[in-house]
Amino acid sequence: MVGRREALRTELLASVREAARDQLRAVGPADLSLRAIARDVGISPAGLYRYYDGRDALLTMLITDGYTDLADHLFLAQGLAEEVSDLGRTRQVPEAADADAPPLDRLRATWRTYRTWSLAHPNEFHLLFGQPIEGYAAPLDGATTRANARMARALVLPAYVAWQSGDLDVPDLADPPHGLHRLAEAISEEAPVPVSASFAARTLAWWSVLHGAVALELNGQFRWLDEDATGDLFAATLEATLDAARPD
Amino acid sequence: MVGRREALRTELLASVREAARDQLRAVGPADLSLRAIARDVGISPAGLYRYYDGRDALLTMLITDGYTDLADHLFLAQGLAEEVSDLGRTRQVPEAADADAPPLDRLRATWRTYRTWSLAHPNEFHLLFGQPIEGYAAPLDGATTRANARMARALVLPAYVAWQSGDLDVPDLADPPHGLHRLAEAISEEAPVPVSASFAARTLAWWSVLHGAVALELNGQFRWLDEDATGDLFAATLEATLDAARPD
DNA sequence: ATCTTATGTGGACAGTGTTCACGAAGAAAG
DNA sequence: CTTTCTTCGTGAACACTGTCCACATAAGAT
């Protein structure tokens, strides 16, 4: 049986969570005000400490939420609805691909969703990928790291599938540097079939293009282009990246 | 003749500037404390307003300084010492290429310097490319934008040179999107010879790889790799990018 | 009915950026 | 040399911020 007290607690926990997300949507991670959140929930600033132990705990929770939300969108975009645990909130993803679609199309949809999500949630993007807040260090074994790894998996997986199905070709490096072997091992633990060091490196390179294009656009480095030109640029960048890995 | 008063003013202006840069090296743009800077200079917080009109002015100055410093390093790396106005501070750039070196080597050196500088100045990197500070908007016609454009030129120039000398090949897009033509025009104004829309798009794609690789590394997304592995990964990423544009 | 534990509060402390009235010192004009 | 004007710098104040602590008030358990 659930006591009346416990019920109120989980309800207030959810309230705070929602208020924090609402505020993050408006003001950016650095200006996230603990006192304003307390005001929104209708509680005193000190009382908030009974639920989240200070600002760092709030940020930890927001970061974890951000990673899982992004990962959900990425999984849905490539047609892997079974990977997302909590449907309902992530229901309306614009371009959810069919799981039977060609691997390259699913990869494309995943990459486009990375941009779409980031443009729609700029503050979350900066919270996840921007500078760490004032010496805030995520607990390495905590939920944050797990959510981060899941997001990385959602990003690597479609590239891996396209590679396995022969739609992407990655030339083997003549002399793969030492460190990349360990990277390949790390990725291989997640993948069904071991990947080569060359493929592992190439995957991170693809993430780099993707991330850099989004980060530069979001930061306003392309502000002298008009709105739709940035979309065209992004599409051209992705196609160029894929062309470089076309088999033939 | 320069009055005694004016001399003191320029000296104090420089003092504040140095104190601000020192503090930025330590604490990150969001925690940059105006009062701490005033303490360092030995002035009251209110007195600082006679020199810089509030925190935004300080940030504007730091951003401008950051862009020019990065641009100087990039120009020196490709062997264009004549482009940097204020030598002396930027004297010791690790890998200053000869102006007669092969274009591809100069391009490589420039890209490597982008990473080196960013890893050496993480807070400046976040200030320049991270999220805009609490609704801070750079004046569009101001010095900030000029310094930003100069940095972009330092980044585009070596790619342009390599392209002109035939060391880089960029396939023409079959149907270049509308917005990219205007992008090409904008770049062409800076370059000696007009560039195609395809080349313009490809240049920004290269910047995206470069920027994304650095941003992800700096943000700790590669933290599960060991130190030297990230260097190897970066080198592999650059070579893969160049390989995709090899003529033959 | 008593005891224990969780919950919430107001007050305080040390910070922050910014504004304002006011005094002191340099520069210029009589 | 004296007066006027402008710049410089200060201390106090205001409205914020995150965090901590003693204290009262409830709920749950014995």
List chain B residues with CB under 8 Å of A226.
179, 182
Residue B181: predicted pLDDT: 85
Cα–Cα distances in Å, from B18 out to A136, B15, B23, B133? 26, 5, 9, 21
Three-state DSSP string of A185-199: HHHHHHCCCCCCHHH
CB-to-strand D under 7 Å, chain B 24-83: 42-47, 50-51
* Separation between Cα atoms, residue A70 and residue A65, nearest integer Å: 9
Residue B88: predicted pLDDT: 57
pLDDT, one tens digit per residue, over B12-56 is 999 999 999 999 999 999 999 999 999 999 999 999 999 999 999
Contact B114, B210 (CB under 8 A): yes
Count other Cβ atoms within 10 Å, centred on residue A151.
23
Q: State whether residue A123 sits within 8 Å of chain B by CB.
A: yes
The DSSP secondary structure of A105-159, one letter per residue, reads HHHHHHHHHHHHHHHH-HHHHHHHHSPPSTT----TTSHHHHHHHHHHHHHHHHH
Q: What is the mean pLDDT of residues A69-95?
A: 80
The more confident residue out of B237 and B87 is B237
The more confident residue out of B192 and B25 is B25
CA distance B212 to chain A (A): 4
Residue A88: predicted pLDDT: 57
List chain A residues with CB under 8 Å of B26.
none
Q: How many residues does chain A have?
A: 248
CB-based contact B122 A132, cutoff 8 Å: no
CATH architecture of residue range(s) A1-53: Orthogonal Bundle (1.10)
Query: Is the CB of A223 less than 7 A from some atom of nucleic acid strand D?
Result: no
Contact A44, A38 (CB under 8 A): yes
* Averaged confidence pLDDT in chain A: 89
CB-based contact B216 A221, cutoff 8 Å: no
Q: Which of residues 142-201 of B touch A (CB under 8 A)?
A: 148, 152, 171, 173, 176-180, 182-183, 186, 201
> Does residue B81 carry a pLDDT above 90?
no
| Band of residue A84 on the pLDDT scale cut at 50, 70, 90 | confident
Residue B37: predicted pLDDT: 98
CA of B133 to C1' of C19 (A): 22
Contact B90, B76 (CB under 8 A): yes
What residues contact A229, with CB distance under 8 A and at least 6 apart? Answer: A222, B177, B178, B179, B180, B182, B183
> Does residue B217 carry a pLDDT above 60?
yes
pLDDT, one tens digit per residue, over A116-147 is 999 999 999 999 999 876 556 566 668 899 99
List chain A residues with CB under 8 Å of B233.
177, 179-180, 183, 201, 204
Residue A136: predicted pLDDT: 60
**Closest alpha carbon within chain A to B198:** A236
CA distance A52 to chain B (A): 22
Residue A242: predicted pLDDT: 96
Domain boundaries, chain A: 1-53, 55-243
**Residue A51 host element (H or E):** none
In total, the C-beta contacts within 8 angstroms joining chain A to chain B are 178
| Band of residue B134 on the pLDDT scale cut at 50, 70, 90 | low
Query: Is the CB of A43 less than 7 A from some atom of nucleic acid strand C?
Result: yes
Q: Which CATH number fits domain A55-243: 1.10.580.10, 2.60.120.560, 1.10.10.10, 1.10.357.10?
A: 1.10.357.10
> Does residue A42 carry a pLDDT above 80?
yes
* Domain B60-243 falls under CATH 1.10.357.10: yes
Closest to B219 (Cβ–Cβ): which among A129, A230, A236?
A: A129
Contact A63, B166 (CB under 8 A): no
Task: Give the bases of strand C that a protein CB approaches within 7 Å.
Answer: 6-12, 15-21, 26-28
Q: How many CA atoms lie within 13 A of B170 on its CB side?
A: 27
Q: B221 burial class (0-12, 13-18, 19+ CB within 10 angstroms)?
A: buried
